[in-house]
Structure 1
């Protein structure tokens, strides 16, 4: 039949056939590329939570700045010098120097105030001595006047009654004046002693304040309380203390001396996973600096209250993992990868999470069926980062679709 066709017609037929073949080839290639299947596997299944952490000593001794800053009215000071982190220091060796300028000004002010109060105390004592001496002299004079009135009364016993009565009145007046003077003297004495005591108390307080300031200014040179490796303290925002950092009177920690015989990995677990994490769970630990070494540990502390880390919107919970053993190569602040073992199932069916789909309340997968696939309802259990347990609906060795280009829901789902 083709022999009777013209050459042009033959060429057109060949081109059309080639186009059909090419379309079928490309279509089958796209389908193979899009339709990726995974087998339903059977075996052990682990639920793990993986989190990055940082090594810290379980116990550390804090190296404190001046403890008396609040007593002398200094609330913050700056670090002007600090030895390098990681330096091994012996007890009593130099660690850091703090800015003394504000305290030096305070010391000068307290010294001036002390001189002033000392002068006031001396003046008050002199005034008191003069006042009481005058009062005592007045008492002596009144006593002489009283004795004089007594003599006049005795000498007037032969005088007329009116004269005797006048002498009696004068004696009574003298006695009353003397008694009042004695009482006034006691009041003046009590007042004077109270004033002197008040100024003396202020003087003692100022002297104590001055002594505390002198003692505190010596503490601005910080020395090691014991031997150990120096680790810089972290501020409230997680930044390490360094030269130029502020030291607060409320938390005057400059550095720490960690006990390297026991170490923890401190990590932060997001609020989605924290309900799975509990004390005493086993953890596999890798240290980024030594990838060929494996460590193990267990969780010793799980925070009850979440927090928000700097530059992060997520809420996380602090978790401490105690290493079961330590090496001399481990150092504080090294980064760790912590694999927390939540639970292990010995024998279950599981498939990749991306194979699972949902339509309303129905969970289903596309199961291979011949050259195509059918939507099949399944019942799932718990999942880890990559896989999910299948409790019903699939059998070992069956294949489920991983990558599906269909965006619409299936018309029919094979129900359990």
Structure 2
């Protein structure tokens, strides 16, 4: 006979029922989660392929300065009597900014004027002597024709006349000499007034009233004037390994310690050829122009600049760690790489339509391109279907040059690249003939860039297992690198293996 249930037992059953149900639900959820998460994900670290922008920049340091700086000196010696401009003063072209004691030159002018007057008096005396000698010569010449004077007297009269002419010429030369000396003194007198040669701002002043300047050997520097501080320049020292990427017109961003919260803009104006070597490091000066219309930037500030050498917009990018990863056991990688190579050099044919679209083709040009690309795809399909001899004629098979830590890949050998260029020129001969000069030049550059691109192996996580894929790499900002090929946004790429638990 069964034992009757009591109210207490019924209450215990009602309490245990929900707990049991909760346990079952928890176990089912744990089982579902384990089945949902790929078993291999616990063994690999991955990053996702993203689409975005990559900005490649070169870092350098430099100093701000005015585009044009004029040093004002003194061409004459003397004591400074007045200084009419101070630091940071704005001055106009021709404005008096200092004066030197002119008394010495004023006295020299008076002396020169007196010497000119004396020379003029000597000239008048010589002219009077010349008139008298001329008349005497004429009289004796007339008398000599009548045989009334000796021939020697006529010769003496002629000599006296010539001497009088020479004295007149000497007096005239002396007047010119004294007049020139006086003009030189007047010029030096005018130079005692120091004027600004340009419109600008006084940066430095090295004189005080009462100071004596001596200009006997070289012109002493009195002022430094910046012509226009609304336009400034930076002279950057760029390393020789980076100078090949710098071009005129590239954008530059920079910061200054004086304004840590602001970022300023500039533009590359000039890449100078005068290399500088210091501690076996070769650098080249790069001049950057800066708009300083607000006047906040000051001459002499040290800046940290970045020259934007390239910017790729809306491209596939991948963390650099994924390019360095290589599994410990990579026995099947070579066969996968060879297969990828036989598919046409990591998908060069897949990138050509994008390059063609950038040319803005008309209907005839587009038809020629479509015919050429269709022929290439047919040839590739036939090559994939044909049996491959061991070692095949793969353009990129085997292990190539290493990049980013040893992944197989690298750049196409020069001879192979040349053969590929020739083959593509033949394949697209009709298409290239339909292009204008600018389009043909752009097409040739894009094809050469695709063929010469560096290739590396990455490992996509497919069904929980790493699958080796060859991709082309492009611009890199040091963190992410542009990639293209058999890869899509959102693909998970292995960056490393997790330690066993």
Q: Give the TM-score range, shorter chain.
A: 0.5 to 0.7
Change over 3 Å in CA distance of 1:313–1:195 after alignment to 2: farther
Q: What number of residue pairs does the alignment pair up?
A: 313
Note the C-alpha offset of 1:115: 8.0
Note the C-alpha offset of 1:344: 2.0
Other-structure match for 1:291: 260
Other-structure match for 1:20: none
Change over 3 Å in CA distance of 1:214–1:356 after alignment to 2: farther
Other-structure match for 1:125: 123
- Which residue of the other structure, out of 169, 188, 198, is the alignment partner of 1:194? 169
Separation in 2 of the partners of 1:242 and 1:355?
A: 60
Note the C-alpha offset of 1:268: 1.3
Note the C-alpha offset of 1:258: 4.4
Other-structure match for 2:309: 342
- Whether contact under 8 Å (1:45, 1:344) holds in the other structure is yes
Q: How does 1:189-268 map to 2 (within 5 A)?
A: 189-219=164-194, 222=195, 229-232=201-204, 242-243=206-207, 254-260=223-229, 262-268=230-236
- Whether contact under 8 Å (1:80, 1:97) holds in the other structure is yes
Other-structure match for 2:33: none
CA RMSD for the aligned pairs? 5.6
Higher relative contact order (CA 8 A, sep 6+): 1
Q: How does 1:11-410 map to 2 (within 5 A)?
A: 42-43=50-51, 44-56=53-65, 62=70, 64-66=72-74, 69=75, 84-88=86-90, 95-96=97-98, 107=105, 114=112, 118=116, 121=119, 124-125=122-123, 128=126, 132=130, 135-136=133-134, 138-139=136-137, 142=140, 146=144, 150=146, 170-171=147-148, 174=150, 176=151, 180=155, 183-219=158-194, 222=195, 229-232=201-204, 242-243=206-207, 254-260=223-229, 262-270=230-238, 271-299=240-268, 301-308=269-276, 314-323=282-291, 326-345=293-312, 346-351=315-320, 362-363=402-403, 365=405, 381=474, 383-384=476-477, 397-399=493-495
TM-score under structure 2 length normalisation: 0.46
Change over 3 Å in CA distance of 1:321–1:92 after alignment to 2: closer
Note the C-alpha offset of 1:206: 0.9
Separation in 2 of the partners of 1:356 and 1:80?
A: 75
- Whether contact under 8 Å (2:115, 2:178) holds in the other structure is yes
Separation in 2 of the partners of 1:344 and 1:61?
A: 35
Secondary structure, aligned partner of 2:187: helix
TM-score under structure 1 length normalisation: 0.53
Separation in 1 of the partners of 2:133 and 2:94?
A: 61
Change over 3 Å in CA distance of 1:118–1:256 after alignment to 2: same
Which runs of 5 or more structure 1 residues have no equivalent in the other structure? 1-36, 151-169, 233-240, 370-375, 402-416
- Whether contact under 8 Å (2:319, 2:479) holds in the other structure is no
Note the C-alpha offset of 1:285: 3.5
Separation in 1 of the partners of 2:242 and 2:79?
A: 41
Change over 3 Å in CA distance of 1:189–1:144 after alignment to 2: same
- Whether contact under 8 Å (1:40, 1:400) holds in the other structure is no
Note the C-alpha offset of 1:130: 7.4
Which runs of 5 or more structure 2 residues have no equivalent in the other structure? 1-44, 327-398, 408-457, 460-468
Note the C-alpha offset of 1:196: 1.7
- Whether contact under 8 Å (1:63, 1:224) holds in the other structure is no
